[in-house]
Chains A and B, each alone.
Chain A
Amino acid sequence: MSNLSNERTHTVTTVQAPPAAAAPRVGAGLFDPKQLVASLPDAVRKLDPRRMITSPVMFVVEVGAVLTTVLAFVDPSAFAWWITAWLWITVLFANLAEAVAEGRGRAQAATLRATKKETPARRLAGGSEETVSSSDLRPGDLVVVEAGEVIPGDGDVVEGVASVDESAITGESAPVIRESGGDRSAVTGGTKVLSDRIVVRITAKPGESFVDRMIAMVEGAARQKTPNEIALNILLASLTIVFLLAVVTLQPFAGYSGELQTVVVLVALLVCLIPTTIGALLSAIGIAGMDRLVQRNVLAMSGRAVEAAGDVNVLLLDKTGTITFGNRQAVEFLPVSGVTAAELADAAQLASLADETPEGRSVVVLAKQEYGLRERHTGELPGATFVEFTAQTRMSGVDLADGHRVRKGAAGAVLAWVREHGGRPDLAVDEAVDAVAASGGTPLVVAETTAGGAARVLGVINLADVVKHGMRERFDELRAMGIRTVMVTGDNPVTARAIAEQAGVDDFLAEAKPEDKMALIKREQAGGRLVAMTGDGTNDAPALAQADVGVAMNTGTSAAKEAGNMVDLDSDPTKLIEIVEIGKQLLITRGALTTFSIANDVAKYFAIIPAMFAVVYPQLDTLNIMRLSTPQSAILSAVIFNALIIVALIPLALRGVRYKPVSAGAMLQRNALIYGLGGIVVPFIGIKLVDLIISTIPGIG
């Protein structure tokens, strides 16, 4: 789509984004301890071994818990029962983490489900209308929806225009315009038509609608493990096998040393060593990552896309609405010699009456502010024919009854019109146009022709693009993260360069056609780079499908929403940056908690090994550097700490590790320090504290 038509698309819904620098950083996400209690029944239900096996680490813990339960019955002791109880608690805590994460999505799903009520649909069949249930609609069916009625299914408007209340989906109460043709034709089932009448062609099969998919995503039901999650799971499983090997072979060594260990102790050692912390939280981290997107009104169609977002190397950002405010504003009238500024303003105002784009409105506003020209209304001009702005003609204007014709629009289009009508624009016009373009503005040329006379250029309007506040800083941060930003615009190269420099993007694609965008994406991908982009039009669909992360605007067409792997319900292209941050944060959280989990083992060895063998080799008590009171209390403390740390880290898993856009080296340094070194130190303190408390228990201390 051309840049100009892009603006038309955004006229209705472009939300004036708050200054980017003030936008909330990812990391928000409330955690209420009450959620723990509420999710308990779910956590118990998840103890089913058929569900546990999807997490190999926690499955081993459950098997260990079953084993110690049996042994505690066979050979009861306070110690065996305590260990058994805490092993079950460990499994439960892991399930709790997942249940809490899922529970947060479920509330949203419930709201969505309310929109999924069966509604009567007025289906058009061979010119007549029949009433059927919304669940009987098939793709291709045409339905009529009038004011006050609920749209029965996903589809595209093929006839008419209407204002639609989409608050059930987007949470945005202001109605939006949906009309046939163009890039805002998509409607969603369950939303309500407020005015007028439209005919909708159904595009989704029953059960596969947008809302259905949305419910599945937020509930986590459709969640499949992402590639990196699978890779991490393999690593965790193999670590579990290594520790299983270490613990199983320890028994012969113990026997050799004359101190065979009880199975309860060996199970306790095994559970402490295997990476239970990350094993317990891994799935919650994934669900929470999706949830963070949903909280920002972004709907990811796959977890894979969220992960890919963290890896993105190139961001394709539409200039308009993303880098600059959606509407360029007229800031200056530049008349040619022989024309006064007031004359130019007057003509410009006339030509803009039929131009409802923000640019058109801004011309009228400027004419009023600068020259006190009252806005005329179309009704005041009897016999006038208005020429509406279209993407093809790229100009608007009016043909008055007296033969006076005014045109305003893109320089090329208007100059061609002038020549067509016998005019010969002089070089000064070109110079003025270039000067405006070079300054980063968009030149609009205003021309007129009187009845029978040759057309002449009156002057140039400078439409200035206003770069959003804080964008330069944002791009600097992205650069630090290794992400290159490419501004995509329909502007000519000179204008594009000026704005690119002002905004601080790395590169720009000027006079971009959809094919150019596609070619750029393919070129980047051939070099091994991952590309993210936003789009809304049907002609964006191929590029959205080709991009590794394609965010479709909810205002866009069904085709665009189908092609992308995310949909932004707010239709805010700036959000791409947040999506990348959420993707990164997801991966960082996984890595940090894995590192923490493994680092924890050091302290656990120091707690358990002396407890096991100080009887036969008293010198090993030197390793009991935490001075834990008894062998039983030492082992139990390690097990209890191991369980408690899971609950303690649930908020972090749900919220995600704090993320700051800095270079990879700096980020590694910080996270390695906190989660690596912290992972070594924390359990020494934690186990000691637990020991202080439990050593008062008879039979343990």
Chain B
Amino acid sequence: MSATAAGLLQLVILLVALAVVYRPLGDYMARVFTSTRHLAVERAFYRVVRVDPDADQRWTTYLFSVLGFSAASVLFLYAFLRLQDRLPLSLGMDGVDPALAWNTAVSFVANTNWQAYAGESTMGHLAQMAGLAVQNFVSAAAGLAVAIAVIRGLVRTRTDRLGNFWVDLTRGVVRILLPLAFVFALVLVAGGVIQNLSSPEEITTLTGGTQSIVGGPGASQEVIKELGTNGGGFFNANSAHPFENPNAFTNLVEIFLILVIPVSLTRTYGVLVKDRRQGYAILAAMAVLWGVALAGVTAAEVSHPGTVPEAVGATTEGKEVRFDTWASALFATSTTGTSTGAVNSMHASYTGAGGGIVMLNMMLGEVSPGGVGSGLYGMLVLAILAVFLAGLMVGRTPEYLGKKIGRHEITLVALYLLAMPFALLVGAAIAASFDDTRASLLNDGPQGLSEILYAFASGANNNGSAFAGLSANTDYYNTALGLAMLIGRFVLMALVLALAGSLARQTPTPVTAGTLPTHRPLFVGLHSFTVIVVAGLTFFPALALGPIAVALA
């Protein structure tokens, strides 16, 4: 089979698989978050943390619950990493440095999983399993919870209540993430991903040297790494490592896991707003963005411009031979479109255009289809922006799903759209300004600037993937990226919950022929165009000096 045929075939398999689970999973998630029954295990948890699961929270309470829970998680994880040498299963690893421990704790709690360390040489098994993997579950569930609260804001009327964060969080973990993770961990193990608690194995290499091979609970962590759009690899090489992602089958399963919840959540959305077409429209806009990016990256990587790639016949540098260009481009597009940040190839080695597109993919705000929960609420905020302009153009003050987009709502939307570029551009501008911070760069010229831009795009958008080349384990990058991740996660959550609170208070306007239809292809086009224009206009100057200058060279 030719590379093209194989590439297209796996794309088709992926799309079919997603299509098959779309309805059942989406409907199931809708039921999970609307059910009034609590499972025994959930009830036990509520008793332990002493929350009333039937209390309905205002948006402020909901937000403080998210922030309180996340702050506690950061502190816990920070302490865990600092003290790992005193805990069992540390494999003899030292406690983690303060700056790195802060960066890592923030990174995992913010669902970013930026890793300024190499997993196999920094984290013991317990830190991986009880520290990082736990956050992989709960940070994803927190994103899901906020998305559900935002949907409630759109659906509910004349109320100041958005649901209960603790219930949404618990159900997300217990009823959605854990069952899926369990099943697919077994699938990955069957596919050859490792799962053990062994100590490193000493082996003698062919040349007679010795090498320490670290194993560990790989599959259980790998599955939630993808499923929760986390991306933090067990090993430094992430999904390019043969223990995490041994073959084309596991590669496809991992891509499927990355996309399955963000995609199916649009169905949940459609069901909850009682208009499935709205869900399809959001999905269509996500699909347009994902499809365009995939086509661009694949074309850039397959067309292999440049002397060496032309000689070799493909841009193979930084890519695993077992995945080749197509599977690498598919993985790269999906991981940067979802805030996952797992990689099966090194994005820095992509062509200027390919690397630029995956970077832009993150700069869109992680909405194609975005992180678990965060992709949906990010897309809804952009839909509201699109509605604002389009709504005016049909001669009505703008409304989305019957809720008016007035001064208060547009202020929150505007701040939402400002926060991420602020964290990204300011962080990157400082990094580009000083000799100290530039010393971390592997390359100079536009490729070096791309390394900086990529790092902050990744941090501010909670992606977590790295444009290999930047040595990010310095005080500045650890701190600044940590801040960027916090802004990109929690400032946005605060704004979007405030928006939900404001929408929930309204009396909806009934739909008439004069209402802007938000489920038609025209609006889908406007919506995806808005996403591209907002990001494009904000980042074009910076991109011109980085990836665009590389691409046009």
Binding site for B on A (CB under 8 A): 227-228, 230-232, 234-235, 237-239, 241-243, 245-257, 269, 273, 307, 310-311, 313, 479-484, 526-530, 583-585, 587-588, 590-592, 594-595, 598-599, 601-602, 605, 609, 613, 617, 619-620, 622-623, 659, 663-665, 667-669, 671-672, 675-676
Contact = CB atoms under 8 A, between A and B. Distances in A.
A234 B542 contact: no
A619 B550 CA distance: 9
Interface in B401-441: 402, 405-407, 409-411, 413-415, 417-418, 421-422, 425-426, 428-430, 432-433, 438
A659 B520 CA distance: 22
Nearest to A605: B540
A595 B449 contact: no
Which one of B390, B415, B445 has the highest number of Cβ atoms from chain A below 10 Å of its Cβ? Answer: B390
Contacts of A243: 537-538
Contacts, number: 215
Given A256-B449, A591-B391, A619 B553 contact: yes
A480 B512 CA distance: 9
14 contacts: A227-B407, A235-B388, A235-B410, A242-B537, A245-B418, A245-B421, A253-B449, A255-B432, A257-B549, A313-B512, A587-B397, A588-B394, A664-B515, A672-B393
Contact of A613 (B515, B522, B544): B544
Contacts of B396: 310-311, 584, 587, 664
Given A307-B397, A672-B526, 20 more contacts: A237-B414, A238-B417, A243-B537, A245-B425, A252-B432, A253-B432, A256-B448, A527-B510, A587-B397, A595-B389, A595-B393, A598-B389, A602-B537, A617-B446, A620-B544, A664-B396, A664-B515, A671-B393, A675-B393, A676-B529
Contacts of B544: 609, 613, 620, 623
A669 B522 contact: yes
Given A227-B406, A313-B512, A483-B512, A254 B392 contact: no
B208 interface: no
A598 B389 CA distance: 11
Interface string B499-539: 00000000111101111110010110010010001001111
For the complex of A and B, the 3 pairs showing the least CB-CB separation, nearest first, are A482-B514, A591-B392, A584-B395
B425 A249 contact: yes
A307 B395 CA distance: 9
Contact of B410 (A234, A257, A672): A234
A587 B392 contact: yes
Contacts of A252: 429-430, 432-433
A307 B385 CA distance: 19
A675 B390 CA distance: 11
Contacts of A242: 417-418, 421, 537-538
Contacts of B385: 235
Given A246-B541, A252-B432, A594-B389, A619 B552 contact: yes
A256 B433 contact: yes
Label chain B's interface by main secondary structure. Answer: helix
Contacts of B542: 246, 249-250, 253
A593 to B, nearest CB: 10
B435 to A, nearest CB: 11
B359 interface: no
B514 A529 contact: no
Contact of B414 (A234, A254, A623): A234
Q: Which of B395, B413, B513, B514 has the most CB of A within 10 A?
A: B395
B545 interface: yes
Interface of B: 385, 388-397, 402, 405-407, 409-411, 413-415, 417-418, 421-422, 425-426, 428-430, 432-433, 438, 445-446, 448-449, 507-510, 512-517, 520, 522-523, 526, 529, 533, 536-542, 544-546, 548-549, 552-553
Given A257-B545, A528-B510, A613-B544, A246 B392 contact: no
B541 A250 contact: yes
A665 B446 CA distance: 44
Nearest to A254: B545
Contacts of A307: 397
A664 B513 CA distance: 6
Contacts of A526: 507
Interface of A (DSSP majority class): helix
Contacts of A238: 414-415, 417-418
B510 A667 contact: no
Contact of B510 (A255, A310, A529, A595): A529
B407 A664 contact: no
B541 A253 contact: yes
A246 B425 contact: yes
Contact of B421 (A246, A483, A527, A605): A246
B428 A249 contact: yes
Given A482-B512, A483-B512, A665-B517, A230 B397 contact: no
B393 A667 contact: yes
A591 B508 contact: no
Contacts of B415: 238
B397 A311 contact: yes
B538 A246 contact: yes
Contact of A234 (B407, B449, B538, B549): B407
A667 B394 contact: yes
A245 B425 CA distance: 7
Contacts of A669: 522
A227 B507 CA distance: 17
Contacts of A659: 395
B299 to A, nearest CB: 17
Contacts of A609: 540-541, 544
Contacts of B513: 479-482, 663-664
B509 A591 contact: no
B541 A247 contact: yes
Interface centre among A583, A584, A591, A667 (most CB of B within 10 A): A591
A482 B396 CA distance: 11
B429 A664 contact: no
B418 A620 contact: no
Contacts of B537: 242-243, 246, 273, 598, 601-602, 605
B545 A617 contact: yes
B446 A257 contact: yes
Nearest to B409: A231
Contacts of A480: 513
B338 to A, nearest CB: 24
A323 B276 CA distance: 40
A273 B407 CA distance: 23
Contacts of A245: 418, 421-422, 425-426, 538
A60 to B, nearest CB: 15
A620 B549 contact: yes
Contacts of A588: 392-395
A602 B535 CA distance: 12
Contacts of A623: 544, 548, 552
Contacts of B545: 253-254, 256-257, 613, 617
A684 to B, nearest CB: 16
Contacts of B512: 313, 482-484
A494 to B, nearest CB: 29
Nearest to B544: A609
Contacts of B546: 253
Contact of B411 (A234, A248, A668): A234
A238 B397 CA distance: 19
A561 to B, nearest CB: 26
A598 B538 CA distance: 12
B520 to A, nearest CB: 6
A273 B391 CA distance: 23
A393 to B, nearest CB: 43
A250 B429 CA distance: 8
A313 B510 contact: yes
A609 B541 CA distance: 7
A479 B514 CA distance: 8
Contact of B418 (A241, A598, A602, A619): A241
Contacts of B549: 257, 613, 617, 619-620
